[in-house]
């Protein structure tokens, strides 16, 4: 019998406190593993380029799967736990959108064939789940042991928010780095692809294909993004099960989101500002929590959702206005 008791938060603790059994952890990890296996062995067993329609359907499916798991948390452990789960999910998903565009830069720079990109991103997501687990458990342990960490995380998120606003569009290409030269130096490699394999054999030697170097860089960018997103999620929950599973279900849906949005970055002109507002909000929330000023979970959830909807809405409105103004400036066909 699965045992997962809800520790009452009537004492006024800032976060829900769950006693999650090994069986429940095992069931959640098994569900995540099963979804990944279905994705790689059934849905994407044959390398091919997803159509926009298929990418949209898969994105909606992953959102539905994530929401379903969140509803299970809500039904099993109550409104507070459910609110924290959905807040963490929304934070991770929204902050990961920028990661999707960085993937597009990397895959484009290394000219990875479109039909092989899903396999690289699959292993990238798998590695991200493992690394996020380490970040999350370490971060929660630090917060529990040294509460001043809340302030440090909060200040760091405020700094990141300011940098997002002031940084503009001047971004360095993550593929142009000494790190990649180091990978080639440490791992015997070839410049030739062998389908979607990460390693191949040439002249009897086992060599890494270019896809392996791309995978390493994808993992590196996820580590860099986790430095922002994990502290942000810790602002809305201190429960390991909630933080990890909300991160996991958000991350698993990023591959389909990539194929849907990779070429649409220019249309999301207010994305940076939206992410900056979210980071600033959760940064302030962490600092206030240290001083025993608590913002209700439902307020956090509402703010995050409204900011993301507003940034997408304003971006699409500007794109539509630009399209209209361009069409108005074009002379009629018979005058050209």
- Residue of 124, 116, 108, 97 whose CA lies nearest to 265: 97
Look at residue 122 and tell me whether its pLDDT is greater than 80: yes
Give the pLDDT band of residue 7 (cuts 50, 70, 90). Answer: very low
Name the strand (E) or helix (H) holding 17.
strand 17-20
Structure tokens at 121: 């991103």
Mean pLDDT of 91-109: 80
Give the pLDDT band of residue 325 (cuts 50, 70, 90). Answer: very low
What are the residues whose beta carbons fall under 8 Å from the beta carbon of 269, sequence distance 6 or more? 314, 315, 318, 319
Domains of the chain, by residue range, sit at 51-167+210-320
Question: How many H helices and E strands in the chain?
Answer: 11, 4
Alpha-carbon distance 296 to 262, whole Å? 35
- Residue 116, classified by CB atoms within 10 Å of its CB into exposed (0-12), middle (13-18) or buried (19+), is buried
pLDDT in tens, 28-38: 999 999 999 99
Sign of CA dihedral 289, 294, 295, 297: positive
Mean pLDDT of 302-323: 75
From start to end of 112-235, where are the E strands?
199-202, 205-208
Q: Residue 175: phi, psi to the nearest 5?
A: -80, -20
pLDDT in tens, 51-75: 888 888 999 999 999 999 999 999 9
Asked whether 102 and 221 are in contact (CB, 8 A), the reply is yes
pLDDT in tens, 196-238: 888 888 888 888 888 888 888 888 777 777 777 788 888 888 8
Instruction: Tell me how long the chain is.
Output: 336
pLDDT more than 70, % of the chain: 84
Look at residue 324 and tell me whether its pLDDT is greater than 50: no
- Residue 332, classified by CB atoms within 10 Å of its CB into exposed (0-12), middle (13-18) or buried (19+), is exposed
pLDDT in tens, 269-309: 777 788 788 888 878 887 887 787 777 777 877 887 888 78
Look at residue 3 and tell me whether its pLDDT is greater than 50: no
Asked whether 264 and 112 are in contact (CB, 8 A), the reply is no
Alpha-carbon distance 199 to 48, whole Å? 20
Structure tokens at 212: 């392996």
Alpha-carbon distance 37 to 44, whole Å? 10
Alpha-carbon distance 70 to 241, whole Å? 12
């Amino acid at each position: 019998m699965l045992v997962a008791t809800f520790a009452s938060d009537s004492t006024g603790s800032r976060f829900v406190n769950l006693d999650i059994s090994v069986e429940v952890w095992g069931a959640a990890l098994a569900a995540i593993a099963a979804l990944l296996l279905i994705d790689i062995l059934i849905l994407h067993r044959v390398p091919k380029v997803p159509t926009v329609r298929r990418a949209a359907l898969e994105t909606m499916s992953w959102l539905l799967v994530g929401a379903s798991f969140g509803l299970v948390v809500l039904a099993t452990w109550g409104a507070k736990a459910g609110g924290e789960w959905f807040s963490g999910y929304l934070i991770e998903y929204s902050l990961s959108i920028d990661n999707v565009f960085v993937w597009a830069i990397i895959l484009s720079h290394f000219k990875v064939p479109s039909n092989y990109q899903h396999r690289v991103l699959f292993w990238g997501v798998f590695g991200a789940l493992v690394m996020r687990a380490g970040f999350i458990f370490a971060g929660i342990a630090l917060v529990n042991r040294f509460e001043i960490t809340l302030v440090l995380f909060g200040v760091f998120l405020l700094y990141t928010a300011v940098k997002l606003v002031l940084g503009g569009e001047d971004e360095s290409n993550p593929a142009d780095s000494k790190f990649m030269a180091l990978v080639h130096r440490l791992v015997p490699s070839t410049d030739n692809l062998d389908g979607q394999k990460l390693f191949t054999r040439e002249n009897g030697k086992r060599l890494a294909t270019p896809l392996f170097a791309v995978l390493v860089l994808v993992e590196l960018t996820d580590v860099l993004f986790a430095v922002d997103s994990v502290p942000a999620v810790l602002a809305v929950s201190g429960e390991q099960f909630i933080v990890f599973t909300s991160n996991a279900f958000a991350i698993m849906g990023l591959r389909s989101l990539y194929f849907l949005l990779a070429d649409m970055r220019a249309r999301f002109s207010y994305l940076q500002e939206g992410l900056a507002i979210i980071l600033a909000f959760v940064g302030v929330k962490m600092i206030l929590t240290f001083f025993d000023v608590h913002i209700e979970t439902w307020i956090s959830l509402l703010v995050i959702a409204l900011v993301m909807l507003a940034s997408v809405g304003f971006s699409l409105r500007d794109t539509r206005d630009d399209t209209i103004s361009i069409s108005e400036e074009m002379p009629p066909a018979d005058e050209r």
